Amino acid sequence: MAIHPIVIYGEPVLHQRAEKVTDFDDELATLIADMHETLDASNGVGLAAPQIGVGKRIFVFNAEDDDGVRRRGTFINPLLIASKVPDTRPDPDEETEGCLSVPSLDFPLKRAERVTVNGLDETGQSVSLTAEGWFARIMQHEYDHLQGMLYVDRLDKRWSKKWKKEQAANGYTVPGRSWMPGVDPDPFGH
């Protein structure tokens, strides 16, 4: 297993729809093991393959749900079904997100309260998960990565303006930037 660098906003692979996985082989097993190791080293709660520069429809997660139950797993070629996203403004105290590919920044974003994710695990077996609240937010965030979208691309007008200023100030506009979990300082201070 190996820890991979996490690419930063502006890297083309983050802004393209990821490709469907068709081969469930040793190479895939190694990639998924590396993703879990990278996630653990990053102190994050989810990681999509595009975040380590691999344009495949895979994400891994390791986080507690709203009931305090730790959930760790893998989704390959997932399909996400979400409840309606409320039309209200996001609460900056309760509905803020961050992203390993947008280091050190977080912004409020409204998300669906409930989701169901269907997909495959690392052996090609069908898996399904229904989540609410915080854990549903994680599932939506990681699924977006496979669509070529980051959470900052979904911000409302007010927060989008703040993001654009921070994006320019941090140089999150050009490809070729990354950070290495476990080596570089943790951008979120964990």
List active site positions: 142
Residues 6+ apart with CB under 8 A from 88: 110
Calpha distance 52→60 (Å, rounded): 12
Calpha distance 128→170 (Å, rounded): 38
Q: Please give the structure tokens belonging to residue 27.
A: 């190479």
Q: Please give the structure tokens belonging to residue 125.
A: 């077996």
